[in-house]
Amino acid sequence: ARPIRLSDYRPPDWLVDTVDLDIALHPTRTRVRSRLRLRPNPQAAGPAAVVLDGDDITPLSVRIDGVPMADSAYLATPDGLTIPQPPAGPFVLEIETEIDPSANTKLMGLYRSSGNYCTQCEAEGFRRITFFPDRPDVMAVYTTRIEADRDEAPVLLGNGNLIEQGDVPGTTRHFAVWHDPFPKPCYLFALVGGRLGARTATFTTMSGRTVALGVYVESGKEERAGYALEALERSMRWDEQAFGREYDLDVFNIVAVADFNMGAMENKGLNIFNDKYILASPETATDADYAHIEAVIAHEYFHNWTGNRITCRDWFQLCLKEGLTVFRDQEFSSDMRSRPVKRIADVRVLRGHQFVEDAGPLAHPVRPDTYREINNFYTATVYEKGAEVVRMLETLLGRERFRAGMDLYFTRHDGRAATVEEFVACFAEAAGTDLSQFMLWYAQAGTPELAVTRRDDAQAGTLSLEIAQVLPPTPGQPSKLPMVIPLALGLVGPDGDDLPIRRAGHGPVERGVLVLTRAAETFVLEGVPAGTVPSLNRGFSAPVKINADLTSDDLRFLAAHDSDPFNRWQAVQTLASELLIENVAVIRAGGAVRHDGGFVHALAAVLADERLAPAYVAQVLSIPSEGDIARDIGRDVDPEAIYLARQALRRALGNDLAPTLRILYERLRQDGPYSPDAASAGRRALRNVCLDLLAAPGHPAAIALAAAQYSEADNMTDRMAALATLALHDTPEREAALADFFERFRADPLVIDKWFALQAMIPDPGTLDRVRGLAAHPAFSLANPNRVRALIGSFAQANHTQFNRADGEGYRLVVDTVLALDGVNPQVAARLATAFRSWRALEPTRRAAARAGLERLAGTASLSRDVADIVERSLG
């Protein structure tokens, strides 16, 4: 298929004012009647054929204004329906189709999950239900009649408000009619039918309207839906307070399903979720699961304004709703929990996924300008970097002007399909500033690299920062222009306190943010005594890499004194990263690793600082991951050497800090019953990091401690943490605990996913066979995306040494799975194939083996467009 280009955008020839759907659910023969009121688009060029999209459907009948069309008057193909000579003015088009939801393994369109009916339409799934102009700039008012067997589907849910329901006389069937008064693109259409139980509540909006809330789950799991419901209420309240956004329908329903291609979906008034992001109880969900549930509930709810009321003109504008909504959910979680800890966690994710994407063959701009398969662009770049771009707007403009820009955006574009230009124009206008250079953040791919050189002039009391920015080439973009970069700066004086920031000749720096705009520039800061250390990019104000000429002493100083919690954490990470990279080189050269007492000392100081929150200390104690180190090294990567260097450091920390870790471990023991709140979760997080470091050297006493924690735990966080620690040590305790875990939770697929994932991540050579064995386990299934992601996804994305085995067997396992999965669910197969995205950065032996794996994929006939796109770009 030819690529689709942003520059080819044309407004639709026909608009759809209303859509009336009548859907009679049946396991294999679901009948869909659709009635569209079409009218020519006044903005289009002139009379045009009606071209509707379709995917794997055939029309049973087509009528225009009630009159059946002759077969020869329209053209039906596997991917659409064309009416070459439609009426000149508005008309009503009725199309009947029949679809088989039970045969739908792609989980796009209408499908079944645990016997229930559900839909997924974003990006292009609606065309698998009926023929339609499947593009987000066609917004219509939908009325949906859903009919089903009363026993098979007692619950029938649709978008909008319920306006009618009843029995179909003389049959075993019943129906419900839902009406959504808000015009929407078809990707936001949804319906659900099934046997479901619910947790319900009512919410009173800021203007006093009452909204009925429901969280629907498979019958019997209602107990586990309570946390999601509370998170929804918190999200609704927060959006009113933080952004002035009120909910607009009388109902808001969420449905959890077990088979889902991604996390969740923001369908208007009827969000559908992967049940992984709904179901939680202390015994089955970890603290991290609770936090994810809260964040995903918020994210999907926030889409009601950023995505639904204001949608995207075309799929190139995806970041308009996704980046903005991620920014909003990050802000929400920061307000609900600890802001610094949330920032650190988000930056870890950004660097771990987006920086990696940006550094490899799949790099693309936040707003891509071409695609072959849009589902492959729901990426860390569009989502996470997209959120950073919005955050930079806030940093550049300040909170108030940022909020004014948001308000203008909501007023001006409500009810419409917008573009990134229109979004940014709202901020430029509200703040009275020029943001044309800022648009480069949407257009240029790659991670900017800043080189910072300091010059102190003790006599003049000035510090000069010479800052050069470089944006490396990315596919299709050999050379770049300088970006506008908001660099939040701190000056930590010799006594450890912050100094005011004044630019010679300019006065105080507004909010401490230096705004870089040129390839190289120098900032002269005045009133800076000798011994001052600059703290650069505080709070990670810009998504860039920084190479600064800070010494280890400077970094240890910042680790001890920086008032910015993010940079205090960053200083420790940078120290660790420098040590690890040095030791990786030493190991590859056959030498002995360097033990750095200074680093251990810096960590000990943080551990001893009782003013710091446990959740924060846990982040400081978590040294860079194998993926982080590989990314920082960037070329000729040897995953085995990285693993050994990291293990050596973990063992050293476990030995040198043992007494402190042991004391903390005891002191942080849970006192009351389990509660998922952020403070309690933080205590568990730190305690479990202590346990893991204590066990790192492999002392039997520490292994026994982990084994005891495993069996005594009253919650999944502590049980899972102990199991994860045990999993790193090839001991009888490990196998005993793994066997126990399976027996305990065998009835619970979501919990068994943790068991699959943990085993897939064990960094030893036996894991390959273990994973092969688990893939044949009765609890595993290629048909369920969560199972695939847990077992094969974790192996490919999170087991650096074993996926990257020098003999290529890890690659072979993943390629085999991609091929087996492609015929079942191409979207999930394509996502799995992105595990190869860093292949060029590997050392030669592994690089050749990874390339051979990609080439085996490329050489396979009848690859899906999804996988073919990833493979070709990866090799390109």
Binding region for ligand B3K (CB under 6 A): 122-123, 262, 264-266, 299-300, 303, 322, 375, 378
Minimum gap (Å) between residue 275 Cβ and Zn ion: 18
Choose from Zn ion, ligand B3K, none: what does 262 bind? Cβ within 5-8 Å by kind: ligand B3K
Minimum gap (Å) between residue 329 Cβ and Zn ion: 8
Choose from Zn ion, ligand B3K, none: what does 265 bind? Cβ within 5-8 Å by kind: ligand B3K
Tell me phi and psi for residue 95, to 5 degrees.
Answer: -130, 135
Choose from ligand B3K, Zn ion, none: what does 333 bind? Cβ within 5-8 Å by kind: none
Collapsing DSSP states into helix, strand and coil, what is residue 24? Answer: strand
Minimum gap (Å) between residue 255 Cβ and ligand B3K: 14
What gap in Å lies between CA 134 and CA 56, rounded to an integer?
A: 14
Exposure string for 272-292, b = 16+ CB within 10 A, e = fewer: bbbbbbbbbbbbbbbbebbbb
Nearer to Zn ion, 20 or 266 (CB): 266
Q: Is the bond into 783 cis (omega within 30 degrees of 0)? A: no
Residues with Cβ within 8 Å of residue 70, at least 6 apart in sequence: none
Nearer to ligand B3K, 264 or 485 (CB): 264
CA distances from 151 to 42, 155, 261 (A): 47, 9, 27
Choose from ligand B3K, Zn ion, none: what does 428 bind? Cβ within 5-8 Å by kind: none
Minimum gap (Å) between residue 6 Cβ and ligand B3K: 19
Minimum gap (Å) between residue 51 Cβ and ligand B3K: 23
What gap in Å lies between CA 144 and CA 19, rounded to an integer?
A: 8
Minimum gap (Å) between residue 265 Cβ and ligand B3K: 5
Minimum gap (Å) between residue 589 Cβ and ligand B3K: 45
HEC sequence for 549-603: CCCHHHHHHHHHHCCCHHHHHHHHHHHHHHHHHHHHHHHHCCCCCCCCHHHHHHH
Site string for Zn ion, 23-52 (x = CB under 5 A): ------------------------------
Question: Exposed/middle/buried for 860, CB within 10 Å: 0-12, 13-18, 19+?
Answer: middle
What gap in Å lies between CA 721 and CA 712, rounded to an integer?
A: 12
Nearer to ligand B3K, 120 or 583 (CB): 120
Known catalytic residue at 96:
no
Choose from Zn ion, ligand B3K, none: what does 375 bind? Cβ within 5-8 Å by kind: ligand B3K
Choose from ligand B3K, Zn ion, none: what does 758 bind? Cβ within 5-8 Å by kind: none
Minimum gap (Å) between residue 393 Cβ and ligand B3K: 20
Tell me phi and psi for residue 615, to 5 degrees.
Answer: -60, -35
Q: Which tokens go with 171?
A: 């049959």
- Residue 546 pairs in a beta bridge with 450
Choose from Zn ion, ligand B3K, none: what does 612 bind? Cβ within 5-8 Å by kind: none
* Cβ proximity of 62 and 81 under 8 Å: yes
Exposure string for 660-682, b = 16+ CB within 10 A, e = fewer: ebbebbeebebeeebebebebbb
Q: Residue 874: which of 842, 838, 844 has the closest Cα?
A: 838
Collapsing DSSP states into helix, strand and coil, what is residue 120? Answer: strand
Minimum gap (Å) between residue 395 Cβ and Zn ion: 22
Catalytic site residue from 122, 124, 147, 300: 300
* Window 292-351: residues binding Zn ion (CB under 5 A): 322, 325
- Residue 191 pairs in a beta bridge with 158
What gap in Å lies between CA 87 and CA 561, rounded to an integer?
A: 74
Nearer to Zn ion, 325 or 717 (CB): 325
Minimum gap (Å) between residue 296 Cβ and ligand B3K: 8
Q: Which residue stretches of 303-355 are H helix? A: 318-336, 339-349
Nearer to Zn ion, 22 or 322 (CB): 322
Choose from Zn ion, ligand B3K, none: what does 378 bind? Cβ within 5-8 Å by kind: ligand B3K
Nearer to ligand B3K, 266 or 287 (CB): 266
Q: Of how many residues is the chain composed?
A: 876
What gap in Å lies between CA 433 and CA 843, rounded to an integer?
A: 47
Nearer to ligand B3K, 159 or 619 (CB): 159
What gap in Å lies between CA 486 and CA 388, rounded to an integer?
A: 11
Q: Which tokens go with 533?
A: 């250390």
Exposure string for 688-720, b = 16+ CB within 10 A, e = fewer: bbbbbbbbbbeeeebbebbbebbeebebbbbbb
Binding region for Zn ion (CB under 5 A)? 322, 325
Q: Which residues are catalytic?
A: 300
